[in-house]
Every structure is written in C-alpha cells, then in structure tokens.
Structure 1
Amino acid sequence: MLFDQIGIHGWDDIEPVVLAALASELSVLFVGDIGGNKTEGAERIARTLLGQDIEFRAYEVPTLNFDDLVGFVNPKTLAKGALQFVPTPLSIWSADAVLLDEINRANPFIQSKLHELVRKRTLLGMPTRLKMVFSAVNPPEKYQSGYMDLALASRFVNVQVPNVATFGDEVIEHILSGNGIGRGGHNLPCMLARASAFEPSGIEAMRISSLCKKIMRDLENSGIVFNARQLKMMLKLITSGLAIQWASGLDVFTAPDAIASYIGAVIPEINGIVRTRVDASVAKGTIRTIVTGFQLADPMTMARNLAELIEIEPTDILAWAGAVDRSIKSERQPQLLRDVLRRLPILQGKGVIEHDLSRTLMEKAAARFATLTLIEEGTPVLEIPGRIHNIIENLKGEVS
C-alpha cells in the first residue's frame, strides 16, 4: 500500500496506525522480531515525511550514556548559573527524529530521562528539535529481554511489526529485489498536511468520544488499567484516522481493522510488552466486537453543518432526523432554514422520509426561521403573534 512506495513492504496492516500516530504527534513503539526492519522503517518514514536531509538519530539504549545524549556541560555558562551543553555529532539537540532501540533494556537513570523525551520532546526541561520519536523492542517473552514499565509503555502507540515469515511470495520478492520503491500516487507529506486541517463534525466527535468511553467501560473488569492520557490518545488516533481518510480518500483508515488497531495500540497489556495477567485474546475480541458495530466516515455523521446534512439521502432515518432536528435548533442562517423547507418535500416525494416526519421537521424549521426574523427585527412583544403569522405565510410562498 502506501509504504510500498517508499520501499517498506509487508506493513500494509500497520500503515493506518503508524500514520495516525504521526499525524497525532504521538510517539511510536515498534514491537517485533530481530531484523524486522524496525530501525530502517522508522528512518524511511521520518525522511519521507520530514525531508531526506533531516537529522535522524538511532540510539542503542542498553549502551547509551547520558553524555552521548546531551553532549558535555558547558563550564562557561555553568559558572554563570546557566545549564547549557556543548553538542556532539551524536547528541540529541539537533535531531529532527530519533529511534530509541531496545528501550526496555535501558538502565533506570537513562530510562527516566528518555521518559521525558518520549512524553514532551524535551530533555532536562530544555526543548529539542524533535518532531518524531520512535522506539523499538523485541517481544520480551520471546527473547527474555525484559518487560517495560507500564508508565513508560502507556506513553507510546504500540505497533506490532509483522514477521517476514507471514509475508506472501510477492511481498518477499519486493523486499529482495527492491521492486515497488517509488510506486504509488500518494504524496504522504501533503496527505498528512491536508489531514491536519480536518475538523470532525460535532456528531462525529461525539460518536468517537462515545466509542472510547465504551471501550474503557467494557474492558474495566479485564485487568486493563486505563488512564486519562490513554483515552485521549485513543481519541486522537481515531480522529486522525478519520482525517487521513478524508484527506486521501482511502477507506482503509476508517475500516474496522484500522479502528481496532488504533484502540489496541494504546493498551500495553495486550501488546506483550508489560508483565500482566490480562487475557489479550479476550480483550482484543471485545474490542473487535464493539468496533464491528461502529462506522466512521458515515455520510450523515461526516456532515459538518445543516447544509450538508440535508443533502444526504439517509438510510437510518431516525438518526438523520434527530441530527437535522438538533441542527435546526442551533442554526443561525435563515437561508439554510429555507433550504431545509425546500429539501424536505423532495425527500418525502422520493419516499425517503414519511409525511408526518417531514411535516414535523418543516414546522420546526419554520419556527426557527420565525424566531431569527423576530430577533433581527426587534419586534415588540405585543406584535409578535401577528408577525409570526405573516412570517410563516410569506415563508410558505417563498418555498412552495
């Protein structure tokens, strides 16, 4: 899919969650076997999205010294009471993107410093240039490499990198030959830039929020420890997936598999990187069951205002009518209310909505139109009843 065009093959299933994480400015943790392309993949993605000439750092965390990360203290500024560092070719200060390899094997001192880097892109309270933070671990149970601390693991978007043994012959051929590099018509930086301008409709935002809350409540007895940060990350990932779908036109970003991956990525207990008694298969099954009944990018919920809402020929009539009703109550543009009054009889004539429902919505639109007109005119209280009658009669003439 998209990553094939930059020479990363076999990652189709994880592309949505990786791109959604980067669009959300969240740190990514690749979990996969030795030699699974985690480091090279991170660098290719970073250079594709940020530019080929960026400064990319890859640190082997188990052997990382703090001086490697920050450089050396500047004695001149220290004498004046200011902490500054003399950078080195390996220090973090000039890096645009970083990969922290085997972060689960960091010594406690280094891990505490990396915690800040992952969380805030700062070090010792000082800003860095980092725009992307990647980390990588091998599955602890498989390699006896040590489990991660839950507090650190929960700050990442956890991504399970597939093993080459699961790839088909065509994908393996691409890997061996380099075939497929440069193919594809999507400009990834432009796609994410366009996605950053997206704002979900109020209805869509509410549905995503409801989904996140339902996931938390349905999994609360499974042993999974949710916190507010994870819920916010979950919401960001799902919203970013919707934004990328809007920007690219690719439905894969809002497919059930993608939504389930966004949710699972913020739960370390089901990704095999923390010590836990949670039954991962049961938790994943619960997530999948919930997600199956949840559809993003539905035309009704994608509608951002009343004008877009009334142009839809809905399949879920009651949900659509409820959305139109709520929009009418808050609408401030009389012309849009006129459009509603013209559109509803058309939908009724097509058999999309029933006569009684159409009439009810038309009455509400007319009442809202009259209210806005009275407010604009500043009609005296005693004249309101007669004026309402005149407004409604004139409106009937306009839309008939």
Structure 2
Amino acid sequence: MLEKEKINFEKTVVVGIVTKEQDESKLNEYLDELEFLTFTAGGEVIKRFWQKLEKPHPKTFLGTGKIEEIHKYIVENEVSSVIFDDELSPAQQKNITKILDCKVLDRTNLILDIFAQRAETSYARTQVELAQCQYLLPRLSGMWTHLERQRGGIGMRGPGETEIETDRRIVRDRIALLKEKIKTIDKQMSVQRGNRGAMVRVALVGYTNVGKSTLMNAVGKSDVFVENKLFATLDTTVRKVVIRNLPFLLSDTVGFIRKLPTQLVESFKSTLDEVREADLLLHVVDISHPDFEHHIASVNQILQDIKSANKPIIMVFNKIDAYKPAHFDEDDLMIEKTSKHYSLEEWKATWMSNVGEDKALFISATNKENFEEFREKVYEAVREIHVTRFPYNKFLYPDYKDAVDEE
C-alpha cells in the first residue's frame, strides 16, 4: 500500500472494464496506475470495480446492475469520487453522475487535475487551463452555476440566450484567448531556443516517475523538483552541462503516460518542441517497474506521434538498485519461468543487448551507480554529433584531427 502523508484523502473507488483488447491482467496494470494517479491527486482508493463487456454501454459505460452495485457501495462507505479508467463521453458522464449522485471523473479529467496542481509557472498554468477548457466545452451541462437562469415574464419572452449557450460562448472565448497567449509565449521560447546557438541539445524523455529529474540533478547539478508522485515535473528545465571539455544543453521534459489526453499533447506542444529539436534523446526507463516494457512502448508511440522517433536514442535503464525479480524455484514444476523472474544479467542478454545500437545503460541515478559509464557514453554520443557540426574545433577537441581521420 502506498505510504500516505498526513493530509485528508478523498475516499475514492476506481472502475474499469475487461474487453477483448484488454484482459484482466492488463486491466489490473491500468488500475494500479490509476490508483497511483489518484494518490498523486489527493485521493485514497478503497475499492476497485470492474466488469466484462464486449464494449462500453453507450449510456452508462457499465451495465445497470454494476452501476447499482457501485451506487450501493458509495452510499454505505461515504465515497466522494468515482474514477473511470477510460474516457467517458459527455452523455455517459452526465448519466452516471445522476445515478451515483457523487463526483464522477475519468482518467483524462484526473490527469488534467494533477497537471493543474503541479503547474508552477504562468506558461504551464496557461497550457493546463487550455487543456481543461477544451475538455470541459463538450461537457457543459448545468455544471456552472454562476449565471442565473433566464426567467420568463413581461419583456422576457423571445429567443434570448440560454445559460448553457452563454457558458459555451464564454469557454470558446477563453480558449481563443489562451491559444493567442500560448502562441505569443511559443514565439518567445522559440527565440530563446534559437539564442542557445549551435550547442548540442540532449533531452531526457520517458514515462512519468522514472527518475528523469533525479538524473537531471545528478548530471547537471541543477535543483529540479523531485517527488515520488506522477508528473512532478511539468515545466521544461534546461541546463548547460560539461563532461570533460565538452559542453552541451540538457533538458528535462514532462513525463509521458499511457492514454495521455490529446488535449495535453496539443497544449504542451511547445514543451514537446524541446524533444523535437533535440539532437540526442536519453530514454529513461524505470527497470524496477513490473510493466516497464509497456512503458517503453507507450513512450515510443508518443515519440512516433510527435515525429521524433528517428533521432539518436540512448536507452537508460534506471533504478537498478530497486530492481527485484520475482522468486523462482527451479524444482517447482508448476511454475514456468517468465521475464518477471529475470535477473538484471538475464535481461541484458535479451533484446536489451542490441537496443539503440548497443547503447543501453543500466544505472541508479539516486546512488550514482554505473555513473561513470553513463557519462562516458553520453560524452561519446554528444562528441560524435559535435564533431560533425564543428569538425575543426580544436579548442573543444584537442584530438579533433584523429576524430576526423577516423571518419
């Protein structure tokens, strides 16, 4: 169970479905992650509900019987929030809220809420507010109460404008304003990136909570906020780093996650530009997480979506100090050995031995284990890019002639 701080946690239940595409074990992985997201947002999950369905019910997502079962449970246990693992349609959210008579969220809404809590700078807050407004617009249905309902009577008859239409107009205007504000900041950040000159740019990418900020602090001697919660870092941090005689720029970016809301991908476009414009990516992976292979696939998919998958990538398997394979008894004929029983050495002998042109690294950013090997490989990769860009820079490369001759 997750260690809880001395704060008041909201009682919460989480809900998911088993389908042809998502079996029970996969659902449990998603619900584990949803529970961590809920903890990050300030909630305590006291119960999980799930149902086998060919496809979600168009009106209530789940079947009538399961909805009634959840309703009975939340009344008996004074639950304040119900969180669904999949995105609900506006109609589903409205119908479920009416039946359960409590706060109903989906994964997208929960992630947006966490981003709103974590946003520190004006730019991050603007990006999150834009994503929230885009999510809210199709779901406006009596959610706002700041406008008094229009009443009939003398002088009040005629078409007029209803509260919901007024609300939608306000939100659309706000979205347009936020987009203009972001466009202005994007131009400023683009100029800032241009002013950094032709220095090699290295970006840390990876799933959320894999230790990117810890690694950034260890390498760049910076002071980036670190916490064992999801999305601890929203704002991109860029630091000048020097390994031996070679300077380069290292940036820490927002973590990725499965089912990342499309609104966030769009509103955090400029943050992702740090990844797009990087010369080298350090893909950080939490090897101690039981589902790290799926995390890698999710990050690779997002890199594909933002057209950054073809960049040079060094795979950095972090948290080797926390890696613990499941116990395997060779004498027990009932248990088949699977990847969850692999030792680190056995993992290294699998597909990892060839990933990234033999550039896979196994480190502990917290304990700085294998850190010299990490610095050496990063140095060699950055140097290769730098020599191509500045083939005759003898101040940075006393051995530059040898490097050119090797080519």
TM-score higher than 0.5 here?
no
Query: Which of the pair has the greater relative contact order for Cα pairs under 8 Å at 6+ separation?
Result: 1
TM superposition score normalised by structure 2: 0.25
* Greater Rg over alpha carbons, structure: 1
